Amino acid sequence: MSSIVLLAMATLDLSTSAPFAHNGHLYVEKPTPIDFPSEEPWEEKVPETKRHLEARTCLYLVLKHLLSDKGVGCDQFLYWDPQDPRKCLSPDAFVKLGSLEFNFASWKVWEKGAPELAVEMVSSSDRAPTDWKDKVARYAASGVAELVRFDTDDEVQPIRVWDRIGGGLVERDKRDPNLRRCKTLELWWVVKSSQYGTELRLANDRDGVDVLPTPFEAAASRAEAADIRAESADRRLQEALAEIERLRAERT
């Protein structure tokens, strides 16, 4: 077979296979994308208790109210290895200060960077020390700078904190007077009672007197303040009217 025929066949084969062009080269096919799911398969999903749902949602609402223009996630997959979708975590809340707010199904570290802060609320499925050792190692690999663990059933130390030192995450000593300080947000972690048990909240002070509100709490506080101002204005009006009547009575 002549070289002209072979060249013609090669050209025909190339045209029918729809080559993939990339960076000045032609490839026989497009690369197969790696699937990074945003949801767990139903048969693998661990059920969530009402108490856990309420605590997680409350913290998320507080963070969103505080950081309305920043990257804030809640119970979404966090991926840090673009070649392995098995390397993922699902924080109950996480914050990326350097990212603007946008809709995302999952968080990919190689696209948006590692979150500065991640929060895990302990459940029965990950309370064991071995489970937590593995989880801390995975958070260290993800690049997260500050990890907070909240266990509503731990009456002695419900809040534990890890900071990135060197290449890993190191737990703060329980005797540390600043144990509950959130370095990322420059606030303080506190435990607050609710109708569902206890919640992890943020405050402006160490003792938790000035607790950051949820949007609903902030709206209720504004409404209450407006009612108080209205009552005060009405009382002053009534007092002024009474004084006018008194003066009229004196002149008569």
Determine phi and psi for 169, rounding to 5 degrees.
Answer: -105, 130
Cα–Cα distance for residue pair 82/23, rounded to 1 Å: 20
For residues 112 and 161, the answer to whether their CB atoms sit within 8 Å is no
Beta bridge partners of 46: none
Query: For 23-128, where are the E strands, in sequence order?
Result: 25-27, 70-73, 78-79, 88-89, 93-100, 107-108, 117-121
| Chain segment 137-184, per-residue pLDDT in tens | 999 999 999 999 999 888 889 999 999 998 899 999 999 999 999 999
Cα–Cα distance for residue pair 59/74, rounded to 1 Å: 9
Residue 13 scores a pLDDT above 50: no
Instruction: Give the pTM.
Output: 0.72
The pLDDT score that the predictor gives to residue 45 is 54
Cα–Cα distance for residue pair 7/85, rounded to 1 Å: 42
Residue, of 211 and 194, whose pLDDT is higher: 211
DSSP structural state of residue 29: S
Domain ranges of the chain: 47-212, 218-252
Of 120, 187, 110, 175, give the one whose Cα is nearest residue 147: 120
Cα–Cα distance for residue pair 71/115, rounded to 1 Å: 9
For residues 85 and 36, the answer to whether their CB atoms sit within 8 Å is yes
Cα–Cα distance for residue pair 9/3, rounded to 1 Å: 10
| Chain segment 17-35, per-residue pLDDT in tens | 678 787 777 777 777 676 6
Percent residues over pLDDT 90 in the chain = 47
Reading the block at residue 158, the tokens are 């419900």
Q: Mean of the per-residue pLDDT values for the chain?
A: 82
- Topology of domain 47-212, CATH: tt1808, chain A (3.90.1570)
